[in-house]
Amino acid sequence: MKPSINNDIFRLKKVIRDIKQYNKEWRYSDAFEKYVANLNICSGSLGLPNFEFENFHFSNTGKTINDIGYDSLLTHISILEDMLPHIIDDKVQGVRNNKEVKVQQNGKKVFIVHGRDKTSLLEIEGILSRVGLEPVVLNRNVNSGLTLMEKFEKYSDVKYAVVLLTPDDIGALYEDAPLESLGYKFRARQNVIFELGFFYGKLGRSNVCCILKSTVEKPSDIDGIAYLSYQNSVEEIEYAVLRELKDAKMEFQLL
């Protein structure tokens, strides 16, 4: 259950206990009206019925609650206590159902990590969309006042990720980079490498598909890790991508 629901249940039980343990000689109406007000706040938050004192529940002076009023309050409390377990079960089931719906929704989402190659991005989006999966591209979602890292963490709640390693940068080791630019190689963007490592850690390697354009240098850290390679178009390896998704238990429909 959500923390707020637990708090409401705790507060309701506390008010009920305070009412039952009231042991002063006189049941002063001011005190009991405060109890009932708190009782109704807690009951209302849980969808349970409220209680109100009637005129005949007060003594002639109106300063105390008579036996009829007190017995009516205890009867109402008894009803609340009978209803509370069902409310708790319903809330738990509701939370469980919400979680299941969220899992089902997230089970269709595939985060796409990409660099500057927009063509490859559109191609992998098309492959995923055609089989009923939901591509998640970070810069197409609203910022909502979040920092870039907060936004990334928010939208990375997915079951699977596809990482596009395309030749967007040029680089080399410092000692291998002469002034005449010999030794430079095409590399993926640094953010792509970072996000690749993030998803390997978050989802596990079996839930990450690493797609490599043939002209880009493969990061040394992923030596020995399976990846898919293409020459000109991601659609060249469409079948291989879908096979990886199938092996990861992603649910989709081939058209």
DSSP annotation string for 155-170: HT--SEEEEEE---EE
Residue 176 clears pLDDT 70, i.e. is over it: no
CATH ID of 107-247, from 3.40.50.300, 3.40.50.10140, 2.60.40.10, 3.40.309.10: 3.40.50.10140
Which sequence spans correspond to the domains of the chain? Answer: 3-103, 107-247
* Residues 92-101: contacts with CB under 8 Å, at least 24 apart: 92/1, 95/1, 95/2
Tell me, what DSSP letter sits at residue 28? B
Contact 211, 167 (CB under 8 A): no
Residue 95 clears pLDDT 90, i.e. is over it: no
Q: Average model confidence (pLDDT) for the chain?
A: 82
Rounded Cα gap, residues 144 and 158, in angstroms: 19
Each residue of 21-40: pLDDT tens digit?
988 888 999 999 999 999 99
Residue 146 clears pLDDT 80, i.e. is over it: no
Residue 108 clears pLDDT 90, i.e. is over it: no
Task: Return the structure tokens found at 143.
Answer: 């910022």
Residue 97 clears pLDDT 70, i.e. is over it: no
